[in-house]
Amino acid sequence: MVMHEAFIDTIERKTAVVGVIGLGYVGLPLILCFAEKGFTTIGLDIDGKKTAALMGGESYIRHIPSSRIQAAVEGGLFTATTDFSMAARCDAVLIAVPTPLNKNREPDVQYIVAACEAIAPHVRKGQLIVLESSTYPGTTDEVMIPILERGGLKVDRDFFAAFSPEREDPANKDFRTETISKVIGATSPQGLAAAEKLYGQVVVTTVPVSSTKAAEATKLVENIFRAVNIALVNELKTTFMKMGIDVWEVIDAAKTKPFGFMPFYPGPGLGGHCIPIDPFYLTWKAREFGVSTKFIELAGEINNAMPDFVVHRVMEVLNESGRSLKGARVLVLGLAYKANVDDMRESPTFHLFDRLEAGGAIVDYNDPYIPVITETREHARYTGRRSVPVAAGYDLMLIATAHDEYRSIDFSRFHIPIVDTRNVLKGTSPCFHKA
């Protein structure tokens, strides 16, 4: 039996062991899907606290219930470990690690490199290695495969390699891992068939493309599309505010058109691990080919300027009430980058903290989903800061995240200005100000 047929046979018989590197917002729900379909799974992560919690049946991601983890562990189908030699036991290894930007806004693939180097000594014949991390076109071929081949094995002769971009949207009530189609690109038709068979066990449909580069580019296009359109409505917001027009009302009216329009909404900046980062992976790679991606870079400039716009608006509102930013007590509502999740990765709220405190404000935050700020790569100085109650004693409150909890608060009882960047209040408060 040839290699890809043997791999497919293990999938069909559910004897294949599936490994996932990186047990975060992407890796954890993915590995649980395989366990729930009856596959033995091994989760690999460098964080021993995470693996210990998981083996105790405890979830550290709010929208993933502990009951799913408990069932997988107790059923003997899920093991979490920091021992990367366990990759040798896996028939498929899926890599879902972060891909941030460095301080120069250039791709930082150190986590991909580290994951590949950790498993390279344990790669064996017949395995399928899939990269899921969002990255620039060429990463699978130029970074992952050369590391995996160091031991003498060769791609498509001894093992398969593929790229399948993650499409997680935490806490989305309409879509979850299993119901989102999966784009897959591989380095050979046999590798593609193997990867399609694997993912076909847990997702509604697979979408094969011609190469790993095409799959990598697909992810970037998805997020560049969103980044550019968000930049557009952010620019429209600042323009319409000068004209006395409510951009939220305009968008709600425009989206009644049944064709040719898709609503996007403004905010205090971009957050999450994808949209603020992925576009710059392409702008960086494009320079290698002598191409300037002006449209993408302009969108980035507009989105990156939104925290400054919001803070300027806060200063205006404080001035109207006879206060300056210096010495003002400001409560920021929402640290998570999107509503109703506990994910603070790349949250624009951190940039609001920076700018408000640089202006002399005394800043607290409230977030019902994030009681304490854990260590982050770029905002370590906020580690340990705790969420405080929404209460009196502040000069201004700034709504940065549209958590459902904020919609039920009667802000009028505080008798202070409320600056709303997310249209949570929809103008219902007498002290309401848009930003």
CA–CA distance, 234 with 300 (Å, rounded to integer): 11
- Nearest to 133, CA basis, from 102, 103, 100, 105: 100
- Nearest to 121, CA basis, from 93, 81, 100: 93
Instruction: Using DSSP, state whether 171 is helix, strand or coil.
Output: coil
260 is written with which tokens?
């040719």
List 18's β-bridge partners, or say none. 41, 92
**DSSP letter assigned to residue 173:** S
Instruction: Using DSSP, state whether 41 is helix, strand or coil.
Output: strand
Q: Which are the contacts of 413, defined by CB distance < 8 A and separation ≥ 6?
A: none
- Nearest to 201, CA basis, from 335, 84, 39, 362: 39
**Farthest CA pair distance, the chain:** 80
CA–CA distance, 207 with 247 (Å, rounded to integer): 37
Instruction: Using DSSP, state whether 385 is helix, strand or coil.
Output: coil
The half-sphere exposure of 204 on its side-chain side, counting CA atoms within 13 A, is 8
Distances in Å between the Cα of 29 and the Cα atoms of 79, 118, 214, 237 are 14, 22, 25, 36
CA–CA distance, 341 with 334 (Å, rounded to integer): 10
Q: What H or E segment, with its residue span, contains residue 232?
A: helix 212-243
Catalytic residue among 33, 90, 116, 274: 274
> Which residue shows structure tokens 């596959």?
39
CA–CA distance, 214 with 192 (Å, rounded to integer): 13
- Nearest to 238, CA basis, from 153, 321, 303, 160: 303
Catalytic site includes residue 274? yes
What positions carry a catalytic annotation?
Answer: 274
